[in-house]
Amino acid sequence: MVDAVVFDLDGVLVDSEPVWERVRRRYVDASGGRWQPDTQRRLMGMNTGEWARYLGELGVPGSAEQVATDVIDLMAREYQTHLPVIDGAPEVVRRLARHWPLGLASSSPRKLIDVALDAMGLTDQFRVTLSTEEVARGKPAPDAYLGVAQRLGVSAGRCVAVEDSSNGVRSAAAAGMRVVAIPHGSYPLDPDAEQLVAVVLPHVTDLTERSVPPARSPRIQEISWGRMTVDGLGEGKDFKLYPGGGRSWDWTETGTRHEPGIQPADVEELLDNGATRVVLSEGFDGRLRVDPATLRFLQERAAEVHVARTGEAVELYNTLAVREPVGGLFHSTC
């Protein structure tokens, strides 16, 4: 159900955020600028052009290109002296690479990505690496994560991202990925970002093949009478959705009508694809029933079930899909 795992670099594999803060703070102070209390948090996730321009807003003179060159050179010297590898991170990467293709979406410049991966001996473990300086927008925009998924040849909705920062979490979630967060002790997640996370781990060494969650269930973008639009699946009338995908659903395919309604055979596919919670829509007017045998079947399979009219069902499903392996049947008429 998961086609790839995509790592962030800074704060996940390398404890570089304190180094970035120290280097940029010194550079701003030495250049006559003024470091603000929220500067580091704002900088986290910005691509090279974005943070170089932002340092200019703090009073650093010179072009953004020159500022970026200066700071990256200072960071490279720091890395050559000591690369702050997070304990156990290289081993985690090698272990997960035996189970999934790996990508890397980092706000670090390409020069520093290559230096860091080479120093850790991980260059050949990642099939795709991408710097936010190589896409239009940095984090929290989804560009880097979408770019990695595209280069891997997989749907972003079938990827799991590993992040440490609030902007990184927002970026991966906006791309449609399920997110594992390993927050840095000095930079806790903002409350809104924490709500976008499926799993929070205390340390990267807690990331194992078992702690990688199922892929995210696709979001329902729009619904109106007789029409739905679903991420990655397009438009249709009715849909069957589950972690990592779904399909158009003919609600009569098991031979049912409005009564007795949704059958055990209709929901079995949801469970087979990893759903542990199930949302069943009764139609906008509540005419599509759920057979009691279906509710018994779901109870026997230890699946939590929610039955509601379509509007309420869609709202609940989209909320659950961010953090939980949810499946659903959605009927857009009656």
Q: Residues 240, 114: one domain?
A: no
Q: Residues 176, 238: one domain?
A: no
Q: Residues 270, 228: one domain?
A: yes
- Give CA–CA dist 331/223, Å, rounded: 10
Domain-terminating residue out of 179, 196, 216: 216
Q: Residues 119, 210: one domain?
A: yes
- State residue 232's pLDDT score: 86
Q: Residues 163, 47: one domain?
A: yes
64-81 helix and 48-57 helix, angle to the nearest 10 degrees: 110
- For 19-78, the pLDDT digits (tens) are 999 999 999 999 999 999 999 988 887 888 999 999 999 999 999 999 999 999 999 999
- State residue 204's pLDDT score: 97
Q: Residues 126, 266: one domain?
A: no
Q: Residues 197, 89: one domain?
A: yes
Using DSSP, how many helices (H) and how many strands (E) does the chain show?
12, 14
User: How big is the chain by its Cα radius of gyration, in Å?
Assistant: 23
Domain-terminating residue out of 216, 243, 261: 216
Contacts of residue 156, defined as CB under 8 A and 6 or more positions apart, other chains included, come to 142, 145, 146, 149, 175, 176, 177
Place of tokens 């090698």: 94
Q: Residues 264, 164: one domain?
A: no
Query: Residue 20 is encoded by which pair of tokens?
Result: 């970035």
Q: Residues 147, 258: one domain?
A: no
- Give CA–CA dist 219/233, Å, rounded: 10
DSSP 88-132: THHHHHHHHHTTS-EEEEESS-HHHHHHHHHHHT-GGG-SEEEEG
- Give CA–CA dist 296/266, Å, rounded: 13
- Give CA–CA dist 331/251, Å, rounded: 8
**Strand ranges in the chain using DSSP code E only, listed in sequence order:** 4-7, 102-106, 128-131, 159-163, 178-181, 199-200, 220-224, 227-230, 234-236, 238-242, 245-248, 277-281, 304-308, 326-331
- For 90-126, the pLDDT digits (tens) are 999 999 999 999 999 999 999 999 999 999 999 999 9
**Residues spanned by the domain of 253:** 220-331
Q: Residues 63, 205: one domain?
A: yes
Q: Residues 237, 189: one domain?
A: no
Domain-terminating residue out of 155, 187, 216: 216
Cα dist from 206 to 102, 155, 173, 178, 270, whole Å? 17, 26, 21, 17, 28
Overall number of domains in the chain: 2
Q: Residues 202, 284: one domain?
A: no
- Low-confidence residues in the chain, pLDDT < 50: none
In CATH, what number is assigned to the domain containing residue 101? 3.40.50.1000
> How much is the pTM?
0.84
Helix (H) or strand (E) holding 268: helix 264-272
In CATH, what number is assigned to the domain containing residue 250? 3.40.1230.10
